[in-house]
Amino acid sequence: VGGKKHKFWETQPVGQFKDLGDTSLPEGPIELPTPVSEVKQEPYNLPSLYEWTTCDIDSEETCAEVYSLLTNNYVEDDENMFRFNYSKEFLRWALRPPGYFKSWHIGVRVKVSKKLVAFITGIPAKIRVGDVVVTKAEINFLCVHKKLRSKRLAPVMIKEVTRRVHLENIWQAAYTAGVVLPTPIATCQYWHRSLNPKKLIDVGFSRLGARMTMSRTIKLYKLPESTVTPGFRKMELRDVPAVTRLLREYLSQFIVAPYFNEDDVEHWLLPTENVVDSYLVESPETHEITDFVSFYTLPSSILGNQNHSILKAAYSYYNVSTKTPLLQLMNDALIVAKQRDYDVFNALDIMHNESFLKELKFGPGDGQLHYYLYNYRVKHALKPSELGLVLL
């Protein structure tokens, strides 16, 4: 009845708004796989001025083109004050996990000028939904140049990445977005913890609280100079087996979560300069690894501010607490982030994050992040605390 018309999404194997509440529909794949030989072999048609291109992210030149397209045309906050500024080394990390396909790094160029004007990516990932582990495509970095918006290019990009994923005999996908589409499996809130309140207020990210002075605000967010947990140290290559065991056990409690093996853990969680930081707690007595905390580095460009052009943000990634209280573990992460000159530490209210957000002085963000599955129906929407999956 009534409701927004999703001309494209109503044609796709995703939960449809009209089906909400119909509990007769089974959990699981919506459409069955077809033989790979029957998948459309040639790319979808683009408007005649444009051509498909596969972006070789290893190439410095192509990576720079992708970086530039995203830096100028990717996601902005609702007030268009900030835009994500994924670095080139971050993009190489995000797009080249174990088993990745170059053919899933898809661009659109203007035929004449060869200018890159659109992008979409997929990476393979084993994701468990309930007790079913399925290799899915994680779709990300969908971007159409600002000058080419509202021309229905996005549906073509989505159909093309779907086709290329089908060619690898993969039939499900996972993605997140700040916009509401048919149909979220979960809707999360994001929270921000000020580390550099003066800069955040200067650039308009935060506002001075009522009856608060700047010096009082700086004092409110002050953190100790050093971490407090005994045995807290950076993760190293030798820790991969133990961290894999710790993380797999911990993530098994959530309804949707990645199914990481050691190669995945080495790729996604071994510290990479300026991209991802991970720390663990090694018991000084037993040398057992009991806890883990990680965050990734995703700056945002500050649009239209004279004094600052970049907001240095850390995003909570995967955290495991078995001995050290999560509150203390996360506070140590805040301390490290402050030491490393981050302006803000962000977190979603997923996993057990709810338990520390308010106490560690996170403030609620101004939007939501919706989680989606493609060609997989879940019987009930999940609570954020049932989600154990972080997409970049």
Ligand X SMILES: CCCCCCCCCCCCCC(=O)CSCCNC(=O)CCNC(=O)[C@H](O)C(C)(C)COP(=O)(O)OP(=O)(O)OC[C@H]1O[C@@H](n2cnc3c(N)ncnc32)[C@H](O)[C@@H]1OP(=O)(O)O
> Which stretches does DSSP call E strand in the chain?
50-54, 82-84, 105-110, 116-129, 132-144, 173-177, 186-194, 232-234, 256-258, 276-282, 289-297, 300-302, 310-311, 313-316, 320-321, 344-348, 362-374
Measured from the CB atom, the residue of 129 and 389 that comes closer to ligand NZE is 389
> Which stretches does DSSP call E strand in 227-379?
232-234, 256-258, 276-282, 289-297, 300-302, 310-311, 313-316, 320-321, 344-348, 362-374
177 binds ligand NZE, rule: CB under 6 A? yes
CA end-to-end distance (rounded Å), the chain: 35
Q: How far is the CB of 226 from ligand NZE (least distance, A)?
A: 26
Phi, psi angle pair for 268, to nearest 5°: -80, -25
Smallest CA-to-CA distance from 345 within 152, 195, 169, 165 is with 195
Measured from the CB atom, the residue of 128 and 248 that comes closer to ligand X is 128
346 binds, among ligand X, ligand NZE, none (CB under 5 to 8 A by kind): ligand NZE
Measured from the CB atom, the residue of 15 and 365 that comes closer to ligand NZE is 365
For residues 6 and 182, the answer to whether their CB atoms sit within 8 Å is: yes
Using CB under 6 A as the binding rule, the residues of this chain from 322 to 361 that contact ligand NZE are 346, 348
Q: How far is the CB of 227 from ligand NZE (least distance, A)?
A: 22
For residues 265 and 318, the answer to whether their CB atoms sit within 8 Å is: no
140 binds ligand NZE, rule: CB under 6 A? yes
For residues 101 and 124, the answer to whether their CB atoms sit within 8 Å is: yes
**Burial bucket for residue 174 (CB in 10 Å: 0-12, 13-18, 19+):** buried
206 binds ligand NZE, rule: CB under 6 A? no
Measured from the CB atom, the residue of 150 and 286 that comes closer to ligand X is 150
Q: Could you tell me which stretch among 33-41, 70-78, 99-107, 267-275 binds ligand NZE (CB under 6 A)?
A: 70-78
303 annotated active-site:
no
Q: How far is the CB of 76 from ligand NZE (least distance, A)?
A: 5
Q: Which two tokens stand for residue 339?
A: 């030491």
Contact pick of 76, 89, 168, 266 for ligand NZE (by CB under 6 A):
76
Q: Summarize as ranges the residues that interact with ligand X (CB under 6 A).
A: 6-9, 73-75, 137, 139-144, 149-155, 158, 161-162, 165, 170-173, 175, 177, 179, 181, 374-375
142 binds, among ligand X, ligand NZE, none (CB under 5 to 8 A by kind): ligand X
Q: How far is the CB of 239 from ligand X (least distance, A)?
A: 31
List residues near ligand NZE by CB under 6 A.
Answer: 75-77, 82, 84, 140, 176-178, 190, 300, 315, 346, 348, 365, 367, 369, 391-392
Query: Which residues form the catalytic set?
Result: 392
